[in-house]
């Protein structure tokens, strides 16, 4: 399909810009409609263009800024990729974004994802696209003067339930041996028991197995914690073999949740089709951003499965995720941690409430302010230089999952 010229070429934008008077613009739009049916889609977003992409490496992540010719800039967060690599990849992808209309978010997502068949998918590509996608939504929301969740269909709730809070606690496990002795299992059970005592019978307890408890031990453990009524047991196994999840689902009577390491609708689909998950946990920063996270939520909705978004992003990526959480029907609870250092860089426009929620983001776009001076300060501090976390080792020195 050939796009109308105002969606493809800069010269037309210049032409539009030269028509100063509103009456002139209206006359032009009317004439365009009469002469060219595609002119009917002409609106105030038609002349905006991406002019620059700037990646800012900051500790273990990259904040990416996208500028436009309309003086509007958007921000996104890339995490879970070596930051120097993420910055280089985002800069390289700018080749495909330069001069494009940033409001064509889904189109640009497809451009980036399908640009090179042998690089499609995977953490490096999807996490980087996520940051760019957030920035495009940020720009588009600002352009229309609304928070992003308004562009996603509007809010389905007045506040977003989060954890950890006084009444919602998640405990978890590090790597465990292939077969557990009673005292090894009891230590994990005790952490669940303590959490339940702390939140009381009207509170929420979750357990994160971090894919680090081998299946045989997890089955024993899950049987032992049944009396404590967990909201979910997270990451019961390493993603990759659906048969392992099927075996666990057959033998565990606690709701199972996973999805933080599955990045697209195609990654999530097998869990739903095989009915092995009760809750899906997309991470806005890992799934390719707001665009793909929303699709995952819709896919899960078709299976009557709520999302409980995973989130270890700072307030930028977290707020992007809140916009999705606000605007999908089946939502359970959202992970949300404060990061003191990164909190000096990104100021979000929502508040935590006393009843374990956050208010809906207020403002336009993502509804965050980025302090570029504070960002530059952290970025320049050698103490925050990224280092690989490295593998977890078993008692015998072998590498184990986590």
Kindly list the residues in this chain that would bind Mg ion in the complex (CB under 5 A).
208
Residue 51 burial (10 A CB sphere; 0-12, 13-18, 19+):
middle
How near is the Cβ of 151 to Mg ion at its closest, in Å? 29
User: Least distance to Mg ion from the beta carbon of 210, Å?
Assistant: 6
Please report, to the nearest 10 degrees, the dihedral formed by the alpha carbons of residues 86, 88, 90, 94 taken in order: 180
Angstrom distances, CA of residue 296 to CA of 6, 375, 387: 32, 32, 31
DSSP SS3 for 289: helix
Which CB atom, from 7 or from 208, has the smaller least distance to Mg ion?
208
To Mg ion, the closest distance from the beta carbon of 49 in angstroms equals 39
Q: Cβ closer to Mg ion: 77 or 208?
A: 208
Query: Please, which residue, 67 or 234, has the CB nearer to Mg ion?
Result: 234
Q: Cβ(295)–Cβ(266) under 8 Å?
A: no
Angle between helical axes of 83-97 and 105-113 (0-180°, round to 10): 120
Query: Which C-beta is closer to Mg ion: that of 286 or that of 331?
Result: 286
CA dist 35 and 223 (Å) reads 70
Query: Phi, psi (5° rounding) for residue 313?
Result: -80, 165
Going 237 to 231 to 282 to 265, the CA torsion angle's sign is positive
Q: Check if 56 is active-site.
A: no
Please state the closest distance from residue 171 (CB atom) to Mg ion, in A.
12
Q: CA-to-CA distance for 366 and 146, rounded, in angstroms?
A: 9
Strands 168-172 and 204-208: parallel
Query: Which bin fits 191, alpha (ψ -120 to 50), beta or left (φ > 0)?
Result: alpha
Q: Please give the residue whose beta carbon sits closest to Mg ion in the complex.
A: 208
Indicate the DSSP class of residue 64: E
Q: Which of 132, 171, 170, 150 is nearest to 317 (CA)?
A: 132
Contact indicator for 369, 347 with CB cutoff of 8 Å: yes
Measured from the CB of residue 234, what is the shortest distance to Mg ion in angstroms? Answer: 5
323 is an active site residue: no
CB nearer Mg ion, residue 63 or residue 163: 163
Least distance from C-beta 232 to Mg ion, angstroms? 11
Q: Of these residues, 6, 56, 127, 210, which one is catalytic?
A: 210
Q: Which residues contact 385 (CB under 8 A, 6 or more apart)?
A: none
Contact 67, 103 (CB under 8 A): no
Closest to Mg ion by CB, 349 vs 392, is 392
Nearest to 340 by CA among 364, 388, 366, 374: 374
6, 56, 127, 310: the catalytic one is 310
Note the Cα 322 to chain centre separation in Å: 9
Q: Phi first, then psi: give them for residue 147, nearest 5 degrees.
A: -65, 150
Q: Are 308 and 260 in contact (CB under 8 A)?
A: no
- Shortest CB 248 distance to Mg ion, Å: 16
Which is closer to Mg ion, CB of 215 or CB of 259? 259
In DSSP terms, which residues pair with 61 in a beta bridge?
A: 58, 79
Nearer to Mg ion, 208 or 262 (CB): 208
Residue 260 Cβ vs Mg ion, minimum distance, rounded to whole Å: 6
Q: Which residues are catalytic?
A: 210, 310
């Amino acid at each position: 399909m050939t796009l109308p010229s105002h969606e493809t070429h800069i010269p037309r934008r210049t032409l539009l810009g030269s028509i100063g008077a509103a009456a002139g613009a209206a006359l032009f739009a009317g004439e365009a409609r009469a002469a060219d049916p595609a002119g009917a889609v002409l609106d105030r977003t038609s002349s905006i263009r991406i002019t620059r992409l700037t990646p800012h490496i900051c500790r273990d992540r990259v904040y990416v800024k996208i500028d436009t010719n309309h003086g509007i800039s958007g921000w996104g967060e890339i995490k879970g990729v070596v930051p120097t690599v993420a910055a280089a990849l985002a800069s390289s992808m700018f080749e495909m974004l330069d001069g494009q209309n940033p409001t064509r978010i889904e189109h640009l997502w497809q451009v980036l994802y399908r640009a090179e068949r042998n690089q499609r998918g995977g953490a490096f590509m999807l996490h980087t696209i996520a940051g760019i996608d957030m920035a495009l939504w940020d720009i588009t929301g600002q352009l229309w003067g609304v928070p992003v969740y308004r562009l996603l269909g509007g809010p389905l709730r007045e506040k977003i339930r989060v954890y950890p809070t006084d009444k919602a606690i998640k405990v978890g496990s590090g790597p465990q041996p292939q077969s557990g002795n009673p005292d090894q299992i009891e230590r994990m059970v005790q952490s669940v028991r303590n959490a339940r005592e702390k939140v009381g019978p009207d509170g929420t307890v979750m357990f994160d197995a971090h894919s680090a408890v081998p299946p045989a031990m997890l089955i024993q453990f899950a049987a032992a914690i049944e009396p404590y009524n967990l909201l979910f047991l997270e990451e019961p196994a390493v993603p990759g073999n659906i048969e392992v999840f099927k075996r666990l689902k057959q033998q565990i009577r606690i709701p199972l949740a996973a999805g933080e390491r599955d990045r697209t609708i195609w990654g999530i689909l097998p869990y739903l089709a095989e009915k092995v998950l009760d809750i899906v946990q997309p991470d806005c920063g890992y799934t390719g951003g707001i665009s793909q996270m929303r699709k995952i939520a819709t896919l899960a909705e078709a299976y009557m499965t709520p999302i409980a978004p995973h989130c270890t992003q700072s307030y930028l990526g977290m707020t992007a995720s809140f916009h999705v959480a606000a605007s999908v029907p089946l939502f359970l609870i959202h992970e949300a941690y404060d990061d003191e250092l990164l909190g000096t860089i990104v100021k979000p426009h929502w508040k935590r409430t006393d009843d374990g929620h956050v208010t809906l983001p207020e403002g336009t776009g993502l509804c965050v302010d980025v302090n570029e001076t504070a960002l530059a300060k952290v970025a320049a501090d050698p103490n925050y230089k990224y280092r690989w976390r490295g593998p977890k080792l078993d008692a015998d020195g072998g590498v184990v999952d986590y």
